[in-house]
Chain A
Amino acid sequence: MHYPEPIAQLMESYMKLPGIGEKTAARLAFYTVNMQEEDVTRFAKSLISVKRDLQYCSICGNMTQNDPCDICEDKNRDQSVILVVEHTKDVISMEKMQDYKGLYHVLHGVLSPIEGTGPEDINIPVLIKRLQKDEVKEVIIATNATAEGEATAMYLSRLIKPSGIKVTRLAHGLSVGSDIEYADEVTLLKAVEGRREM
């Protein structure tokens, strides 16, 4: 089928989103044509703003509007503990729990040769530098309980341990192979309580 150019361009953009193929893109594009002008404008603006106004915190890697992020700037938080997570969305899950008062470090992935991710490709070097100068006493590793998440945790543990900093693993309460993203708050609380030293 031949689409009018603006439609085709919009479809091409939609198809850049995960899980959207040509059929769905066409449906969304034709739907957009019929949307209220004002809704479309808001949509377009928030797309741009998400890119322009958000950045990664230069200290912890969390997604933020200001650099450094609010959590890193908050002097009331316990500066001696860093919780290491795979993704920004894991920080959000943790914060919802309202029980953890330390700092974070976001790796943006796990070690996975298949996906071409080695130690240099995720936010590990910054973490190591951070540990050298900050007054950190404990690092809690909260990568997912998958094989890759475990391997990443073990790797970090071996890197950090020689420095004398305590390394713990958030593990209990998370079922094998599960993602932090889907865990409910109670499970996460249990997980923090039951962290173990590595």
Chain B
Amino acid sequence: MLLKDISLKGYRNYEKAVVTFSKNINVFLGENAQGKTNMMESIYVLAMARSHRTANDKELIGWEQDFAKVSGNVITEKTSYPLEIVLSKKGKKARLNHLEQKKLSTYIGHLNVILFAPEDLALVKGSPSVRRKFLDMEMGQMSAIYLYHLVEYQKILKQRNVYLKQNRKNKKIDKTYLSILNEQLAAEGAEVLAERFSFVKRLEKWAQPIHADISQEKEELILDYASSITLQSKKDKDMIMKNLLEHYEKNERREMEQGTTLTGPHRDDIKFFVNGKNVQTYGSQGQQRTTALSVKLAEIELMKEMTGEYPVLLLDDVLSELDDDRQTHLLKSIQDKVQTFLTTTSLDGVKKELLHDPRIFTVINGQIEMESE
């Protein structure tokens, strides 16, 4: 999958920009605070209809502007189509093939991206919510059905939590209605759980050899989807649903007291183990970094396996952060198969011989220009 070009209007510090990309490596080169990450972010926004940096869409609109527009053309093995996101104070519009998509689940998935930024170390070090968000973002791109179930789950969860709080406000809880909410939540929860469980298994399958390779066969990586739902095979949706319902029943009094749902996919986590030890607690900086890198690289392959297309790779400020071995590994594994965008303040410290036919763009204060080759 390729992003052929992008055009920005009123986006962050870009008043207007039109850029045509290389199908191999694109480098955004520039000093600090010039708009490299902004350019990268706009690609992410085109793909996911939201930013990776902020949940507030309004921040993306240029300070002097009423609206921001990001549009671009995607080329896949079979076809090509334009995508467009328009953000205004009133909200956002997503267009696929010039047609507005009312549901984001029908829009997302037409440009698959994987972003790797220094913050991604948080994937290993950060709180469980970081990892849940990681799962949801990546899986949502690959499966509209997952996204649909996830959105329904979150909606029903919110309803249930508000309803549970009634108890504290001394309004009585209608048991019939609560049991209906339980059934609805468990049904969607089972879908989400089963999908996540199998995703993590498949991710592990790809991440293991990569991690072994980067660590020169010294380390074995294991990924574990950690859930309050204990089951032999999490693939059986009916079993998961039954299990969730049992949890709701068991925790009913506590949940009413606390006004919140205590178990389910919204409380789950992924655990990473290197040579049997939890990397989050016991891993060195380097091991954590390798783990994050292995998982990201595994995602590229997994996405290819699931969608038939390689995603587009966005590397924000990471190349200079990686030591030579890891840099080499990263660049080798994407070479000539994955369209890549990377930002850097300087090309020193980047293994240039590994950048095949790069197209270099200089970014200065919201202006972007291709360097003559």
Contacts and interface: CB of A to CB of B under 8 A. Distances in A.
A113 B162 contact: yes
Given A151-B181, A155-B176, A112 B103 contact: no
A158 B156 CA distance: 19
Contacts of B152: 147
Interface string B144-169: 00001000100110111011001000
Contacts of A151: 159, 177, 180-181, 184
B182 to A, nearest CB: 11
Nearest to A119: B174
Given A148-B159, A151-B180, A151-B184, A113 B166 contact: yes
A83 interface: no
Helix, strand, loop or mixed for chain B's interface? helix
B124 to A, nearest CB: 35
A114 B161 CA distance: 9
Interface string A102-145: 00000000011110001100000000000000000000000000
Nearest to A177: B103
Taking each of B159, B163, B171, which has the highest tally of chain A beta carbons within 10 Å of its own beta carbon? B159
Given A113-B166, A147-B152, A150-B184, A119 B159 contact: no
B93 to A, nearest CB: 16
Contacts of A159: 176
Nearest to B103: A177
A176 B159 CA distance: 19
A113 B180 contact: no
A195 to B, nearest CB: 20
A154 interface: yes
A151 B177 CA distance: 8
A118 B159 contact: no
B18 to A, nearest CB: 31
Interface residues of B, number: 19
Nearest to B161: A113
A116 to B, nearest CB: 9
B149 to A, nearest CB: 11
A113 B158 CA distance: 9
Contacts of B162: 113-114
Nearest to B185: A147
A118 B174 contact: yes
Contacts of B159: 112-114, 147-148, 151
Nearest to B162: A113
Contact of A114 (B158, B171, B183): B158
Contacts of A148: 159
A114 B176 CA distance: 18
A154 B180 CA distance: 7
Contacts of B166: 113, 118
B206 to A, nearest CB: 32
A179 to B, nearest CB: 11
A55 B184 CA distance: 35
A34 B12 CA distance: 41
Contacts of A119: 174, 177
Contacts of A155: 176-177, 180
A111 B177 CA distance: 9
A109 B6 CA distance: 44
Contacts of A118: 166, 171, 174, 177
B94 to A, nearest CB: 17
A159 B177 CA distance: 10
B183 to A, nearest CB: 8
Contacts of A147: 152, 155-156, 159, 184
Contacts of B156: 147
A177 B103 CA distance: 10
Nearest to A111: B177
Contacts of A150: 184
Interface string A81-112: 00000000000000000000000000000011
Contacts of A111: 177
Contacts of B174: 118-119
Contacts of B177: 111, 118-119, 151, 155
5 contacts: A151-B159, A151-B177, A154-B180, A155-B177, A155-B180
Interface of B: 103, 148, 152, 155-156, 158-160, 162-163, 166, 171, 174, 176-177, 180-181, 183-184
